[in-house]
Structure 1
Amino acid sequence: MLAAMSTAALPPSSQATAVSRDRGDACPGTLRLHGADDGALARIRVPGGVLTTAQAEALADAAQRFGDGRLHLTSRGNVQVRGLADECGAELAELLTGAGLLPSRGHERVRNIVASPLSGLDGHGLCDVRPWLIGLDALLCANEAARELSGRFLFALDDGRGDVARLDPDVTVRATPDGGALLGLGPGDAAVRVAAVHAARAAMTAAETFLDEVRASGNHVWRVAELGPAQDRLTHRLHARLTAAGIAFDERGRDGGRADGPPPGIVGAALSVHVPLGSFSPHQWRELVRTAPDELRLTPWRGVVVPMRGAIPDRLTDALARLTATGLVGDPASPWPRVGACIGRPGCAKSHADVRLDAARGLEAADGGGLPLYWSGCERRCGHPRGDRIDVVAGPDGRYRLSTAAAGREPRTVTMDDPSRLAAALAAITS
């Protein structure tokens, strides 16, 4: 049975009240494992999603030796290893340290940096953000105060195309057509332009500004947006800190342009594949590492970009065919990039359903709603994407609730008592 209703629109984020956390941030990392029904979970931060092939092999080794053998991508381009034994933490940390994946134990949970994954590969960005990424990560790991940042605080380095800038980062650095960098702090429209050479230092200064406000206000918050009206003071604090740091700037508004993540297929001098539900089998990961000349770039859209500079077209075509033969997605027309899901049962005790199985069964109907679908086993909706989508949330009564979340549209909700009726539910919610 299906039942539909309209729901009231949520207030805009600018009207949000401040949040005050009454506990510390429990976001998992490599040194702080999270207990799940399928064993402990480690989340390994991969700034910019960039892995050398040696580091990728080390992750596969970690999953095989300590976990369930699979590697899982997050919505920030990080990697999770699941099914860990509680006592493996020290050995896991030693392995990752040896691979260069744990450069500072005090900062391992705060190295949350997303970067345009096609930067320098397809000719569409305004600059190659790799120097910004290397610089910011080094500054972050060297900054003692940065250890106070939440494991949820996010930096975005956008090469001007507008892909990672739309992921609701706390600090955004976006390349400008005049060769500069636009720095934004939080979700507002205000920004400042700095010289590109100062981009990494300006981003670190913005994070320090946030910490200044947290200390001064006494608000225990994890993200800039949680400051509520106090965000207005950040602009003045940021200007003062930039001036003190000797970073020249001028005020600008943010560019509203937005772009999607890399489509599957051959894109410029790279291969792009989507990973269904963000979960790699050992065979898929090994084939990726075997294909990559020197590095992989994990994306926040649960995909992988493999730089193939200098490769002839036939080699690119053959390599893509080998990857898709493992079950990775190289066809931009596939519905898989439009479908996501949390871990669900049996991995999560809070989940009311095996959402990954239901998402796979409903794949053919996924295009019927005109929006991406995200399946969640409970109301927490862990890992749900930003932007327009349809949330498919399992309830304790065994039914799913489908809700639209799209800018400029009145939210609607449909309940669905059987996942086999997904096509009818999507038709009802979009009619």
Structure 2
Amino acid sequence: MPAPTRLRADACPGVVATHDAADGALARVRLPGGALTGAQAGVVAGCAAELGDGAIHLTSRANLQLRAVRDTGELVARLSGAGLLPAPGHERVRNILGSPASGLSGGLTDIRPLVRGLDRALCARPELAALPGRFLFALDDGRGDVAGEGADVCWQAVDGDEGALLLDGSDTGLRVPARHAVAALLEAAAAFGRTRGSAWRVREAYPAPLVAAARRFARETHPVALPLSGPLPVGPLRGGAVVAAPVLGHVPAAVLARLARCGELIVTPWRTLVLPDGGAAEGTGLVTDRDAPSLGVSACIGRPGCAKARADVRADALAAMAPDVRAHFSGCERRCGRPRGPHHDVVAADDGYRVDGLLVSPSELASALRGRPAKGQQ
């Protein structure tokens, strides 16, 4: 398919090049595989408290955002010292999802070494720094969690030694040994870089060059529908770890500092945290009850953080949440941060909200959400 005509440049923020938001500089910290050591978590918590708005905001790509940053030079220095900016020229393209519970609970293989290897190899290839900031890699340990997140290139384990190569979530029929997974993903990404034109994502480009580039690492079979498990559920995992959810993906700096003392943690693309120490969430305000109403609600930053937002959508989202309701609140039609699964589409308007296209007043939000099936379930 022809690539769309772009009216603006790709401007995904990073740490070296931040985004100028209404509340100040916004910095996005890439975490390949979502992994954050205890020491790194402590540094990020300190940056949020001393340089930003006092909180860490989780993203749908298992990254972190710091808002209202007052000294970007100091932020770069601190995060570099913590090992979170190993290749500044590649920082915007280190978008790598990995199955968050891999090596802790379940899965066909431990993809954590592959995530680290992919990150190192990606940063070692200068030409790949030119990939769009929206380009997404994924390594799925076979359970089918991150394979459903729309990655541009993904390796999904089909047994302990081999995986399927997916492009934009679809099986190509190529089966790649684990030892060649990193090379196959990078060659496919390089082919996209050479042939993409103005495309930002694989879905906007022709897949044939990408398949051809990875074929030498693979055997071929017929594409199939691979298993997808969806997001990792909140609550305890076998093995002692726990999945905990900050309300609206918002982690106060003091909470992250406390978690940092318990060791490594993993950020997921569903705005949750995997804590290998199952007791670490106690007393933090993080949600571990999978029936909690807040788990179904997400929101963009809204007012006052975004100049385009028409409302304080986070406050309205908290007021309207209810059991079994899945909804994403957006301050404008850009719908930043919306989840991939079925949900109510709640967009702020000048005179209220549009819930799946129907205009309602803020006072009617809760009843409107409870009385309608979520988008994708009609």
Q: Render the CA deviation track for 1:58-105: whole Å, top value 9, x for unaligned.
A: 1112112211111110001100010112xx222211111110000001
Letter in 2 for 1:116: S
Between the aligned partners of 1:261 and 1:361, the Cα distance in structure 2 is 25
Match of 1:241 among 180, 204, 213: 213
Following superposition of structure 1 onto structure 2, how do residues 377-392 of structure 1 map, counting pairs within 5 Å? Answer: 377-392=331-346
Between the aligned partners of 1:271 and 1:429, the Cα distance in structure 2 is 30
Higher helix share: 1
Give the match for residue 92 of structure 1. 75
Give the match for residue 301 of structure 2. 343
Answer whether contact 1:353 1:398 (CA < 8 A) is retained. no
Secondary structure, in 3 states, of the residue corresponding to 2:275? strand
Following superposition of structure 1 onto structure 2, how do residues 44-63 of structure 1 map, counting pairs within 5 Å? Answer: 44-63=29-48
Between the aligned partners of 1:362 and 1:22, the Cα distance in structure 2 is 36
Please identify, of 101-110 and 281-290, the stretch whose mean Cα deviation from structure 2 is larger: 281-290
Between the aligned partners of 2:225 and 2:99, the Cα distance in structure 1 is 16
Is residue 107 of structure 2 the alignment partner of residue 107 of structure 1?
A: no
After superposition, the CA RMSD in angstroms is 1.9
Cα gap change, 1:130/1:429 in structure 2, threshold over 3 Å: closer, same or farther? closer
Between the aligned partners of 1:54 and 1:325, the Cα distance in structure 2 is 21
Is residue 188 of structure 2 the alignment partner of residue 202 of structure 1?
A: no
Match of 2:272 among 303, 310, 323: 303
Q: TM-score, normalised by structure 2?
A: 0.94
Q: Render the CA deviation track for 1:172-214: whole Å, top value 9, x for unaligned.
A: 1100126201112234442410111111111111101111222
Q: Render the CA deviation track for 1:326-371: whole Å, top value 9, x for unaligned.
A: 211011111222110000011111001111001111123x52x5xx
Between the aligned partners of 1:41 and 1:273, the Cα distance in structure 2 is 25
Letter in 2 for 1:208: A
Following superposition of structure 1 onto structure 2, how do residues 11-410 of structure 1 map, counting pairs within 5 Å? Answer: 18-85=3-70, 88-122=71-105, 124-177=106-159, 179-214=161-196, 219-227=197-205, 231=206, 234-235=207-208, 237-242=209-214, 247-269=217-239, 270-292=241-263, 295-308=264-277, 316=278, 319=279, 323-364=281-322, 367=324, 369=325, 372-395=326-349, 397-403=350-356
Structure 1: segments with no counterpart, 5+ residues: 1-15, 309-315, 404-412
Structure 2: segments with no counterpart, 5+ residues: none
Please identify, of 127-136 and 413-422, the stretch whose mean Cα deviation from structure 2 is larger: 413-422
Between the aligned partners of 1:118 and 1:149, the Cα distance in structure 2 is 28
Answer whether contact 2:108 2:143 (CA < 8 A) is retained. yes
After the TM superposition, which segments of 4 or more aligned residues of structure 1 sit over 3 Å from their partners? 428-431
Alignment length (residue pairs): 374
Cα gap change, 1:401/1:99 in structure 2, threshold over 3 Å: closer, same or farther? same
Secondary structure, in 3 states, of the residue corresponding to 1:108? helix
Q: TM-score, normalised by structure 1?
A: 0.83
Highest Rg: 1 or 2? 1
Letter in 1 for 2:288: G
* Structure 1 residue 241 displacement after superposition: 2.4
Letter in 1 for 2:201: R
Between the aligned partners of 1:252 and 1:92, the Cα distance in structure 2 is 48
Between the aligned partners of 1:272 and 1:107, the Cα distance in structure 2 is 30
Secondary structure, in 3 states, of the residue corresponding to 2:198? coil
Answer whether contact 1:47 1:133 (CA < 8 A) is retained. yes
Q: Render the CA deviation track for 1:118-139: whole Å, top value 9, x for unaligned.
A: 11111x2110101110110011
Answer whether contact 1:71 1:281 (CA < 8 A) is retained. yes
Give the match for residue 358 of structure 2. 414
Q: Render the CA deviation track for 1:296-328: whole Å, top value 9, x for unaligned.
A: 1000111100123xxxxxxx4xx25xx243211
Between the aligned partners of 1:191 and 1:84, the Cα distance in structure 2 is 45
* Structure 1 residue 248 displacement after superposition: 3.6
Answer whether contact 1:30 1:93 (CA < 8 A) is retained. yes
Between the aligned partners of 1:110 and 1:226, the Cα distance in structure 2 is 18
Secondary structure, in 3 states, of the residue corresponding to 2:120? helix
Answer whether contact 2:302 2:313 (CA < 8 A) is retained. yes
Secondary structure, in 3 states, of the residue corresponding to 1:253? coil
Letter in 2 for 1:91: E
Answer whether contact 1:374 1:389 (CA < 8 A) is retained. yes
Secondary structure, in 3 states, of the residue corresponding to 2:92? coil
Cα gap change, 1:426/1:203 in structure 2, threshold over 3 Å: closer, same or farther? same
Cα gap change, 1:420/1:204 in structure 2, threshold over 3 Å: closer, same or farther? same
Letter in 2 for 1:144: P
Letter in 2 for 1:164: V
Letter in 2 for 1:331: D
